[in-house]
Each structure stands twice: as structure tokens, then as C-alpha cells.
Amino acid sequence: MDPQAPKKRGRKPKPKEDKKDEPQPSQPKMKDSKRSHHHSVDDKYTQWKSLVPVLYDWLANHNLVWPSLSCRWGPQLEQATYKNRQRLYLSDDCDTTGGGGTLQIWRMSDLIYRPEDEVLAELDKFKSHVVSCASKP
């Protein structure tokens, strides 16, 4: 093995010959399958949540009423050595019977540093544009 080559991470795949010798488990019932899937999702979430401080500098957790249909990072507003500012666009609410969806525009530094009334005042600047777009057929 070359000492300069980086080590590969993760499990090594089993050779096909070994897989043939393994006994095949019987097909589980549907309820057991769903239950085990639910547990594995919970386990993965718990593992991810425990690693959040290692993986990210900052994490915002914002529960939406409906799943976000679209999530997009906007242009970078500011770039510095230790701080970057960027907008995040989220749309949600696919239920059209209640008046349509919403578009949320977040500036990530605003969520941390600005008072709520300042953020709401800035969002009011966009209200007329959003209303005019909503009235178009």
C-alpha cells in the first residue's frame, strides 16, 4: 500500500461470493418494515443532531406549517474574512384553497443581529410588489 495515498473511509463492500453464502432473511411484514424504517430515520436524525456543533458554525431551526417547496440561496450580499451575508428564499404552503403560498426572504445575519421591528419594516417595502404579482392571472 502506498503510504502517500489517502485512506478511504467507510465500510469495505463484501465480495459477491460472501453474499451468496449468507442466509436470506424472510420477507418482513409491512408493519414491521415501516416500524424499522421509522426507527432508522429517528436514529439517523439523532446522530445528525448530535453532530450539528461539529458540522456547522450556526444552525437555525424554523418549523414551517407546510413543507418548503423551494429553497434557494440568493446572491452574496457581503463577503468578509469571518462573515458572509446571503439571502435565503423559501416558499411554502401548497394549499391553494387558502389563498396561495408564501415567499419568505431571509437574510441570515438579520436573523441573529436585527430587532424584529426593523426586519418587519424592511419586509413592508416588498409588500406592494408581492401583492401585484399575486393579482396577475
Q: What single letter denotes the amino acid at residue 129?
A: H
Distances in whole angstroms, Cα of residue 94 to Cα of each of 62, 68, 99, 103: 18, 9, 10, 11
Number of domains in the chain: 1
Are 125 and 107 in contact by the 8 Å Cβ rule? The answer is: no
Q: Classify residue 106: in a domain, yes or no.
A: yes
Confidence (pLDDT) at 133: 62
Are 88 and 106 in contact by the 8 Å Cβ rule? The answer is: yes
Q: Classify residue 48: in a domain, yes or no.
A: no
Nearest to 87 by CA among 68, 109, 102, 69: 109
Nearest to 59 by CA among 102, 105, 111: 111
How confident is the model over 93-117, as a mean pLDDT?
Answer: 63
Are 90 and 103 in contact by the 8 Å Cβ rule? The answer is: yes
Q: Classify residue 24: in a domain, yes or no.
A: no
Are 91 and 104 in contact by the 8 Å Cβ rule? The answer is: yes
Q: Classify residue 83: in a domain, yes or no.
A: yes
Q: Classify residue 7: in a domain, yes or no.
A: no
Confidence (pLDDT) at 91: 72
8-54 residue pLDDT tens? 665 666 666 655 555 555 555 555 566 666 678 888 888 988 888 88
Q: Classify residue 114: in a domain, yes or no.
A: yes
Q: Classify residue 78: in a domain, yes or no.
A: yes
Are 37 and 28 in contact by the 8 Å Cβ rule? The answer is: no
Q: Classify residue 26: in a domain, yes or no.
A: no
| Full residue range of the structural domain in which residue 103 is found | 70-134
Residue 124 has pLDDT above 60, yes or no: yes
